[in-house]
Structure 1
Amino acid sequence: MHAPEIPGFTFVDLVGEGGFADVFRYQQELPTRQVAIKVLRSGSDAASIELFRAEANVMAQLSNHPSIVPIYQAGVSSDGRAFLVMEFCPPPHVAQRYRTQPLAVGEVLDIGVKIASAVETAHRAGILHRDIKPHNILTSTFGVPLLTDFGIASVVGETGAGAQGLSIPWSPPESLTADSHDVRSDVYSLAATLYSLLIGHPPYERRDAPNDNASLMTRIERGQLTPLRRPDVPASLIDVLRRAMAVEIDKRPVSAMVLGRQLQDVQIELRQSPTRLEVMDASPAAVGEGHPNDARTLVRPVSVIIPAAVHERLGPLQPAADEHASRPGAARAATGSSSARRPPPRRDGDRRLALPARIGIGAVAVALVAAVGYALVAGSGGDDGPQDGPLRGEDPPDAVIDVPPAPVVSKSGKGTRWTFTWTQDEPRERDEFKVLLTGDGADQDAPEYTAATSKTLTVPRDATVCIQVSLSRVGSPPSPPSDQVCVVGR
């Protein structure tokens, strides 16, 4: 597809091609800089162009967020194609990197919290992304992850997952057969994206089985997630991502904010400084509300002008306050009450919009909030059943945390041959132990994670080896470490 002529911009080269839009690099004349311009592949009628402009205006206001790609301007080229002018982010991006080498745990957690901040900001303005995947996370010149492509390539053409421009490997089950208006669908796709960065391929892709669309969709609908076996990935992080990718939507975290807080929990568990959640709250009631912030979360009320052209669009579906379940981990989430309304059932005729109208509808955002405001809830999906949560901005009460007791370690042996054995009260399937050896006779540089309950080793003569064991259990924070047990080689 050829690049359109746009006054004030000089074409440089093609950056990327998609099913419904292409991205070109241009040189802007004033101010002089390189920019990326995303261009829809088809023209639009006057009504759709007006809707496109209105939605672009809303997204441009949100692009001030530090984790959303800045939008400089939008327009329609002389041949009738709508376009967006955005910051140019030079490669390589995570989409190129993770297929070559899975990303480090610390980087994935940082990306996850920052992108969760961006998704939460969009949701509070009434925008569903609907296409979160590695390819839509770019990297700025300074290495900051930036979320892009808020629906510009979505909901084009006929109904069905493929025609909607959905990226099947990262799509939740409910989106494969029908349009989803629930914010938890974006939560699922974000978790699937993070899982991909850790495992080195899409979450349901397998090396020993077919990976065509039909096979992937079957695994997604059944929740047959490819196991992630990396010794440096803590069980708590795998548990967070699995819950966020639950097949049943009610078992997922009810907001991107909560998923971000859960990722912060893992950072703290790994003794990393938690990445700050920075949220721009554009819900209509936010400006007059108080927003107590803490070291982990910053909520900044902003005023976003909703143009008349999108004033009557339905907002995204927000889970009711009593639909979330207590989440694992010791962290406390900033939460909220919800007065969101569910959209009425869609009639068959509503799905058969003319192609130009669907292009306009999917140009920048799939859904924008109606005039009636909502305050976002937070909490999480889990297996423990529903329970009420506090209002957003309040400091929630301490959760009742099931912290497993420390393992009990014993030793046996003599001379230079010793065996350490540990036991756990009420052991469960998938229990994993963190084993740390210290002393001048230890040959271990880092903790070992194992399901075994004993370890035999040779201790050099007159050398000392000490052991401490803690338990990592799915759905619970780590146990305290055991008492230190030491042996001396004779």
Structure 2
Amino acid sequence: MRRAPSTPPELPGYTFVKLLGSGGFSDVFLYEQHLPKRRVAVKVLLTEELTAANRAAFVAEANLMAQLSAHPYIVSIFHADVASDDRPYFVMEYCSGPSLAERYKREPLSVVDVLRTGIRVSGAVATAHGAGILHRDIKPANILTNDFGWPALTDFGISSALDDGLPLSTATLDSLTGDTSGTTGSASVGMSVPWSPAEMFEDDPEPDVRADVFSLAATLYTLLAGHTPFEIRGRSNGALDLIGRIERGAVTPLARDDVPRSLVAVLMKGMATRREDRFASTIEFARALQRVELELGYTPTTIDVPNLHLEEAVREGGDDDADATRARGVATIEAQPVVPIEPPLVDDDATVARGATTVHAQAPTAQVPAAPAPVAEDAPLETVVRRPQQAPPPADPPAAHAPATASEAPPQPKASRANRIALWAGAAALVLVAAAVTAGIVLGGPPAPVEPKTSPSPGGGSAIVVDRVPTPELVSAQASDGAVVFTVENPDEQDGDRMIWRRTDRGDDEPVRQVQEGTFTVDRASDAPVCVEVSIVRAGKGSANPLAGCYPS
């Protein structure tokens, strides 16, 4: 159930044109600015969200965007103020083109467009990282198209500082108010599940720059596939289903013949389940995309990042007039030569995990490690939010990966003279086997997933045998001081069980939260119904039929 948009405020020097969009805590309107005459987008905080914490978060978002506005692929912010009705607002660049979400839903993008867009947005994200900011909500809907047809990254509403354990502000601003969020144990974190990495589903997530790498890679996959990476058409694709697949690394195979294997490998590395296996930065990710461009014969797209040394150089000059205009430069990182082997992504040492650091413009490196290929969906749909202490899933068998080149094989020890003939014979046999496996994968697609254990069904087919997790029971729902307190119960509680919930009356982008001691509180800004979905998580599985409840019922 969508809420009605708020009334556009009266702003001196601006004329209201129309509503552009609505979020959980703000509306975006199109206005005509009188001087200079231009169309602008105005983001306005909702009246019912005017708490001190929400005001601070809104101001923080405006300040973050202002720091990054000089970048060609980040939406510019022009002005921020408080309207006469006491609602904070800020004025932004109006991007007249469709968002990438609108584009991929019409039809998948071409390979060349995805490569170009990915490199440009990588530079924008690297610029944010260089300023000490994680975006944390990179997805197609947050990449707009400006009047020049360029991508423009926006919505820093749930971004956070790199040295913070948890975000300074979230897309679900009610998480800032503590107990009203129903997550008293730790702060809840807003996220967009289809593009979020596995570490964001832990009880106390500690994202770093590699979380943004994952979201960016997942976004590019979405543009190519026409659906999110972990979505399976014709199957259940709820938040819990997607979380389970993300934690298993079960990316849906890309059903396009024109996408080179090298590009698939880059995206799979970017979406690796373990952050240590991803690219260490968006700059490394962008360089890998540049190599794919070179492999395909395209002119490489440049990576635009700030010239971090320009301001210091100007100060050292000492002879400038005090009133001289200071221009903030943007450095261009040129593409490196293509690696002269096929495919161009060469296996190297595994990426070493390192803490979040400022990203500086640097010369391209020679190689980027290859990424794992898509993992076929081979587990039940019931899913679970990963606990921090759990070990990562075992690696897939070699047959599930993209075919390796000769350069990807580990070095073999030197054989003695007596065994050299036998070694050559064995090597020849291995080459023949590898060629057969490669042909089977290339011509026949990825290996078939392991079939789950089944038992005959009445209809003559087969049914998946699973231990079904029960549905929670709604004990009560009561209104209390502008909120609704829900009390739920596990009808068959077992050791290790826990319950999670999310709000459903505001759309599909609401975050998943944990139930504390059988109760949780949901804000209620008006008399509109408040609806939630509650599931039990048990031993890696979620409720097959989550509880759906509303107040009033």
Does the Cα contact within 8 Å between 1:124 and 1:283 map onto a contact in 2? no
Does the Cα contact within 8 Å between 1:12 and 1:27 map onto a contact in 2? yes
> Aligned ranges for residues 157-172 of structure 1 at < 5 Å?
157-158=174-175, 164-172=189-197
For the residues of structure 2 that align with 1:429 and 1:75, how far apart are their CA atoms?
66
Shift of 1:81: 2.8
Equivalent residue letter for 1:194: L
Shift of 1:171: 1.0
For the residues of structure 1 that align with 2:211 and 2:105, how far apart are their CA atoms?
24
1:260-315 superposed Cα distances (whole Å, 9 cap, x missing partner): 111111111111111100111559998799x9965338xxxxxxxxxxxxxxxxxx
- Whether 2:262 is the aligned partner of 1:269: answer no
Aligned with residue 434 of structure 2, among 427, 438, 462: 427
For the residues of structure 2 that align with 1:425 and 1:4, how far apart are their CA atoms?
72
Q: What secondary structure is seen at the aligned counterpart in 1 of 2:96?
A: coil
TM-score after normalising by structure 1: 0.61
Shift of 1:164: 3.6
1:331-379 superposed Cα distances (whole Å, 9 cap, x missing partner): 999xxx99967xxxxxxxxxxxxxxxxxxxxxxxxxxxxxxxx5438xx
> Aligned ranges for residues 151-190 of structure 1 at < 5 Å?
151=157, 154-158=171-175, 164-177=189-202, 178-190=204-216
Shift of 1:56: 2.6
Does the Cα contact within 8 Å between 1:4 and 1:77 map onto a contact in 2? yes
- Whether 2:419 is the aligned partner of 1:450: answer no
Q: Which residue of 1 aligns with 2:335?
A: 296
Q: Which has the higher contact order (CA 8 A, sep 6+)?
A: 1
For the residues of structure 1 that align with 2:241 and 2:7, how far apart are their CA atoms?
35
Shift of 1:428: 6.7
- Whether 2:19 is the aligned partner of 1:2: answer no
Q: Could you say what the CA RMSD is over the residues aligned between the two structures, in angstroms?
A: 3.9
Does the Cα contact within 8 Å between 2:213 and 2:282 map onto a contact in 1? yes
Q: What secondary structure is seen at the aligned counterpart in 2 of 1:15?
A: strand
Percent of residue pairs bearing the same amino acid type:
43
Q: Which residue of 1 aligns with 2:256?
A: 230
Q: Which residue of 2 aligns with 1:462?
A: none
Equivalent residue letter for 1:124: G
Q: What secondary structure is seen at the aligned counterpart in 1 of 2:174?
A: coil
In structure 2, do the counterparts of structure 1 residues 425 and 122 end up closer, same or farther at CA, with 3 Å as the change threshold? farther
Aligned with residue 32 of structure 1, among 17, 34, 37: 37
In structure 2, do the counterparts of structure 1 residues 186 and 396 end up closer, same or farther at CA, with 3 Å as the change threshold? closer
Shift of 1:77: 2.3
> Which region of structure 1 is more displaced relative to structure 2, 189-198 or 202-211?
202-211
In structure 2, do the counterparts of structure 1 residues 398 and 144 end up closer, same or farther at CA, with 3 Å as the change threshold? closer
Shift of 1:184: 0.5
Unaligned runs of 5+ in 2: 1-5, 159-169, 176-180, 317-329, 337-342, 371-403, 408-429, 446-553
In structure 2, do the counterparts of structure 1 residues 236 and 59 end up closer, same or farther at CA, with 3 Å as the change threshold? same
Shift of 1:66: 0.9
- Whether 2:393 is the aligned partner of 1:393: answer no
Q: Which residue of 2 aligns with 1:150?
A: 156
Shift of 1:14: 0.6
Shift of 1:65: 0.6
In structure 2, do the counterparts of structure 1 residues 67 and 397 end up closer, same or farther at CA, with 3 Å as the change threshold? closer
For the residues of structure 1 that align with 2:253 and 2:354, how far apart are their CA atoms?
38
- Whether 2:293 is the aligned partner of 1:254: answer no
In structure 2, do the counterparts of structure 1 residues 204 and 69 end up closer, same or farther at CA, with 3 Å as the change threshold? same
In structure 2, do the counterparts of structure 1 residues 375 and 166 end up closer, same or farther at CA, with 3 Å as the change threshold? closer
> Aligned ranges for residues 13-24 of structure 1 at < 5 Å?
13-24=18-29
Does the Cα contact within 8 Å between 2:347 and 2:369 map onto a contact in 1? no
For the residues of structure 2 that align with 1:269 and 1:29, how far apart are their CA atoms?
49
Q: Which residue of 2 aligns with 1:57?
A: 63
Does the Cα contact within 8 Å between 2:65 and 2:75 map onto a contact in 1? no
For the residues of structure 2 that align with 1:230 and 1:186, how far apart are their CA atoms?
25
> Aligned ranges for residues 99-114 of structure 1 at < 5 Å?
99-114=105-120
In structure 2, do the counterparts of structure 1 residues 112 and 243 end up closer, same or farther at CA, with 3 Å as the change threshold? same
> Which region of structure 1 is more displaced relative to structure 2, 58-67 or 239-248?
58-67
Q: Which residue of 1 aligns with 2:130?
A: 124
Unaligned runs of 5+ in 1: 298-327, 342-373, 378-391, 406-422, 435-448, 453-490
For the residues of structure 1 that align with 2:198 and 2:67, how far apart are their CA atoms?
31
Shift of 1:92: 2.5
1:71-102 superposed Cα distances (whole Å, 9 cap, x missing partner): 11122223333322111112333211211211
Q: Which residue of 1 aligns with 2:77?
A: 71
Does the Cα contact within 8 Å between 1:130 and 1:166 map onto a contact in 2? yes
- Whether 2:143 is the aligned partner of 1:137: answer yes
In structure 2, do the counterparts of structure 1 residues 195 and 81 end up closer, same or farther at CA, with 3 Å as the change threshold? same
Q: What secondary structure is seen at the aligned counterpart in 1 of 2:434?
A: coil
In structure 2, do the counterparts of structure 1 residues 228 and 47 end up closer, same or farther at CA, with 3 Å as the change threshold? closer
Q: What secondary structure is seen at the aligned counterpart in 2 of 1:73?
A: strand
Q: Which residue of 1 aligns with 2:102?
A: 96
Shift of 1:2: 1.7
For the residues of structure 1 that align with 2:195 and 2:63, how far apart are their CA atoms?
28
Q: What secondary structure is seen at the aligned counterpart in 2 of 1:74?
A: strand
